[in-house]
Amino acid sequence: MEDRLSLHLKMFNDKVKLLNQTNSKSLTLTATEARNLHSEVFNLLTKIAELSNIEKQDTPISADFDGGTF
């Protein structure tokens, strides 16, 4: 999954990994890093919302079950 992440999400993920490996207590982002990460997260949320709307617009699937025979 990591290979599918955008550059800014990868950078954030790497920082969190390093934070966990070193048992650090805080993570600091520059203003530019924070803006870029915010933009990526917002874009992902927008795509999720769009996909959710597409799924709702699909026609419902109906299935009949007769129970079969035993």
Map residue 60 onto helix, strand or coil: coil
Can you give the residue ranges of every domain in the chain?
2-55
d(CA 13, CA 23) in angstroms, rounded, equals 15
pLDDT digits (tens), the chain, 70 positions: 667 888 999 999 999 999 999 999 999 999 999 999 999 999 999 999 998 887 666 667 777 777 777 6
d(CA 50, CA 66) in angstroms, rounded, equals 37
d(CA 56, CA 49) in angstroms, rounded, equals 11
